[in-house]
Structure 1
Amino acid sequence: MKFLTLLGVMVALCLYVNGQTYKALKVGDKVPDISLTNLYNNPTSALKLSDLKGKYVILDFWEPYCSSCLEALVQLEHLQAKYSSQMQVITLVSNGTKEKILAKLQAIKPLSKFSLPIAFHNDFMYKLFPHEIVSHVIWIDPTGKIAAITGSKNITERNIIELLEKGKVNWQMKVDASTFDYNAPLLSATDDDNQLFQREAFYSVVTGHKKGIAATNIVTRDTLNGKLMISNFNETLLQLCNSTITGAGGATVNPKYLILETPDPSKFIYDSTIDFDTWYAQNSYCYSAVLPYETSKEDIRSFVRANLAQWLQITKGVSVTREKRMINSMVITKSTHAIKVNIAYKNISSNQFKTFINSTIGNLTWFFNHDAPGLPPAVDETGLSKSDRINVAIPLNVLNHFDQLQKSMAQQGLLIRIEPRLQDVLVVKQVIHQN
């Protein structure tokens, strides 16, 4: 117990520099010249921000349980290598031991040789930059001032170039609402005594984006008042469209199986001409419904489907259906010819190839459908069973060049072609209102 008390004092002292106690920092504030310690992948175990004077500094707070954080690390490593003369990325992590965190990185192929500096357990940095949701990214300009605070979606080359060229940016800033109660009724923000939830009131409500809270789904049961509340926070408009089919929230929609027959597709699919956080704030919503406690799961789904379908039709002018349609697809068949190229699969770099060693055609098809966004939906017509094994190595640089991908696959005994196939798709179409 004494050790914990002493540790708390030491952490507090880390924030007391040159006779001044520092509070949580915001955009425009000067970052104090405090040392980052417990550094890995750095020539020294400690580093001051003043050591990086003249460069932009990106502090990326992440955690090993966060999949989007891990994806951002891959992008950050690429951008650091490309713009190393103008910026420096430092990653910070606090959840877990150093050994477990490094083991997590090494188990992920794109991060197995991760080279960016990692600052382990720098508690004072979490006091300077408090947050509830990761990734939490601090962008510091060469003068030591905070230029932006964002999530990982802003880690793009376009944003890096904008920051380097302009020095100032007008992005949507990340805000974490640490006191938000996900289990409270969505309307209670204007009802301090929370009477709305306690009265004989059953209702549904849709609000706009709520800053500083996570995108999540909550089910709350109030046995005392006999109520059941479902809440979906900060879901995109497309996710709400999908809920009219599933009756549940949270699921993402694969754009390969999406048909938009609307005048403005950017309300449903991210428009890369603006930064993600701005788009997300404009096109995400919170939905909540309070129903009788005994409402069955199927009745809940039926209510959500009908309720959101009505809201979308009236307020957004769209209807949503699940249909079978003929759309261009990437058909995979097995070559009748011998494989022309013998690839040494064991020596292939994971940074340059996506490999399927002793794998199945199902795994390959899944990859094309979920991790290769530039390709149409893949259809397996090889006739191979789940027990049949394949060895395929796909160069990552051909995924956006169909003719090159086609050639590479053919060399390994698989043929691909684009042909119409009947697919199960989500259709969002404009509704013509009759006067």
Structure 2
Amino acid sequence: MKIAAFWFRRDLRLEDNAGLYHALKGEHPVLPVFIFDTNILEELEEKADRRVQFIHQHIVALDKQLQQWGSALEVHHGTPGEAFAQLTAKYDIACVYTNRDYEPYASRRDEEIARFLKQHDIAFRTFKDQVVFDYSEVVKDDGKPYTVFTPYSKKWLSLLTDDHLRSYSTLKYKDHFHKVNHKAIPSLQSLGFTAGRQAFPPEAIDEALIRHYSKTRDIPAIEGTSRLGVHLRFGTISIRTLARRAGALSETFLSELIWREFFMMILWHFPRVINTSFREEYDRIKWRNHEKEFERWCTGQTGYPIVDAGMRQLNATGFMHNRVRMIAASFLTKHLLIDWRWGEAYFAKKLLDYDLAANNGNWQWAAGCGCDAAPYFRIFSPQRQTEKFDPGGQYLKAWLPDLGSEDYPEPMVDHTVARERCLAAYKKALQR
């Protein structure tokens, strides 16, 4: 019997899933597939990686839901090429459905799989799901991509209709899943990872929080942000559902969702930003790249409390408050003159909600070298940022038990001296 396959990637949910909806509406029963991609997993240094634990937890939950309908998730552990060689040998597959991913590795992977499937006369169909607007939908009148956020945002909003945010009623077609016997999901340990005592943020949309988001989002001592980043990253929540509900509650929150898509489209159109500055002249900066100073930043021992609190929060939980991320990134690149790529890579290892496009875009913004970035002479004062956003010191107290004691380090650099050093280094590089 011919079947279709749906390949889960950054869309770990059954409801309101565009590619899955189209697969289930097709003419063939649908086999749900997930691949623990060793090309990705083998790059991870920490075997207690919170993200792998998060994915594994949701894969188990997906499988349990599918079992209720007489189906099951077919899970592979290997490269996508190896997985599809096994799948095509085991099943008579007519078509593979999946949702688009915009990262460079994902594009190369999908091109490889599409070529393999074509050799076997199997169609490969991709759909827009993790964004409201695709890479070619919000562009200038001449078809070129936007590189400044404000006009991109205005165009995004002008194009938005109810149709863009309408949910896909996937579960109406749940009887169209391929009926298979359940096979045990590989354990986290068999994948080469260990489970920690990690409490993941809920995927529920807190409408009261979103309604007050513009007033609370910059205060790190309170729960003033949605913590939905990891759910958007792995698709355990639908961007359409979130944008539809957020749009009616908070323009500021909706704007953050537009920033997310802006950075994703920048990455799609300019994949070189992974390794180079968007504004290439900034690659002439002579970074100090002092390894011991970088280690002090990583471990929260800079002597600047707001920076240290953020880094310790990150190391302990896999999360850092958004305002503090900006302060910590500015400190590394401008106070210490350490290459933004070092900081970007450290966040990539630690953040539970790590997303390549957003992480890269925000680090380049902080360093002044990205598209629509803060000017290089804008250098955050950690002291002023603390006075403004943590005036009572609650955030600092929560993460710095040694603050005020002999154990807490002295500031590793004077703010005024560091600022002047930064300005001189940037000016020298940019005046060539």
Which structure: larger Rg? 1
TM-score by structure 2 length?
A: 0.28
TM-score by structure 1 length?
A: 0.27
Give the structure with the higher percent strand.
Answer: 1
Q: Which has the higher contact order (CA 8 A, sep 6+)?
A: 2
